[in-house]
Structure 1
Amino acid sequence: MAEETEETTETENESDGGSSSNKLLIMIIGVLALLLLISIGIIVWKVLLAAPPQQAQLSEEEKQIQTLKATEANKEIVDEQKEFFFSMAPFVVNLSDQESKHYLKVNIELGVRRKEILDEIEQRNPQVRDIILFVLMNKRFEEINSLAGKKQLKHELISRISNVLRTGTIQTIYLTDFIVQ
């Protein structure tokens, strides 16, 4: 019986020693697997995020050419957004009020996007002035005295003047002087 107890104790010791070596082996394999995953991750990260070789090796001349092209593109955008102005001679008109006499003195500037439209406005100046005079003379004091009335007047003038232009339209109208008596 004593021999049996010794054998069981030796078997238990072997199994304890075996399980601790198994645990150690599993831990080593786990650490190696983790290091392998980290290494693969670093390699993939460097490859994917590396700058394309052609971009990294651009010469100074190529960089200047790209900068020049970008600058030219920006200039074209700015030119498209540029506004040109045509100053009309002042207008002095009687308003169409029946109850009392009111006079309107107004200076108008026409805003357009292209110079060709300015040339056409200059050629058609008598026709444009006639349109403006006709619209102004048919307004009453109450119609143009408020801010909303002035905005409506601008929209009406833009619409009517743009209808006679062939090369483009009026973008905006500026009332640079507006006096009603």
Structure 2
Amino acid sequence: MMKNKLLRNMLIILAAIALVGVIAIVVVTKFSGDGTAAKEPSIDEIVESSVEIPEITTNLASGDFIKITFTVQTDSKKAKEELEKRNFQVKNIIITELSEMKSAELKGKAGKEQLQEKVKADVNGLMQEGDVEKVYITSSLLQ
């Protein structure tokens, strides 16, 4: 009688440990599977969801002027379509940001990266159909 109780308790404990192990494996594979599924987009996908912003010529805070062109990468085709319609707003954001910058800030890598991040954040504030993934400066002439 005592052996049966002990055997039954051991089997229950082993079953509980096995169940916890199976649940842990399922949870780990489920969450690690999501991380590997999010792969980087191919160059074709990037091009399909990107919008070119035509050359902008504007004055800087330092009195110099800049000619600059951007390409904006979105996260979807719908976002691209929306961004194409918001082209005038994007130009306004760029001109406004540049008007606050000095030529010395735009001569180095850090200043250009800061401008790209600021434009990205401001444009994302406008977007309703998706998000801007990255802003690229495709040409720049500072005079």
TM-score normalised per structure 2: 0.66
1:141 corresponds to which of 103, 111, 116: 103
2:61 corresponds to which of 92, 96, 112: 96
Match in the other structure for 2:34: none
Identity of aligned residues (%): 24
Distance 2:52 2:132 in 1: 13
Match in the other structure for 1:31: none
Q: Provide the secondary structure at the position in 2 that maps to 1:133.
A: helix
Distance 2:60 2:138 in 1: 19
Match in the other structure for 2:116: 154
Structural mapping, 1:1-181, within 5 Å? 81=41, 82-83=45-46, 84-97=49-62, 101-181=63-143
Deviations 1:76-95 (A, max 9, x none): 977x7232210111010110
The one-letter code sitting in structure 2 at the alignment partner of 1:90 is E
Deviations 1:2-39 (A, max 9, x none): xxxxxxxxxxxxxxxxxxxxxxxxxxxxxxxxxxxxxx
Structure with greater strand share of residues: 2
Alignment gaps of 5+ in structure 2: 1-36
TM-score normalised per structure 1: 0.53
Alignment gaps of 5+ in structure 1: 1-75
**1:113 CA drift (Å):** 2.0
Distance 2:94 2:121 in 1: 11
Superposition RMSD in Å:
1.7
**1:153 CA drift (Å):** 0.8
In our comparison, the structure showing a higher alpha carbon Rg is: 1
- Tell me the number of residue pairs that the alignment of Structure 1 and Structure 2 aligns: 102
Structure with greater helix share of residues: 1
Moved >2 Å (runs of 4+): none
Distance 2:109 2:93 in 1: 22
Distance 1:107 1:126 in 2: 14
Q: Provide the secondary structure at the position in 1 that maps to 2:54.
A: coil
Distance 1:107 1:125 in 2: 13
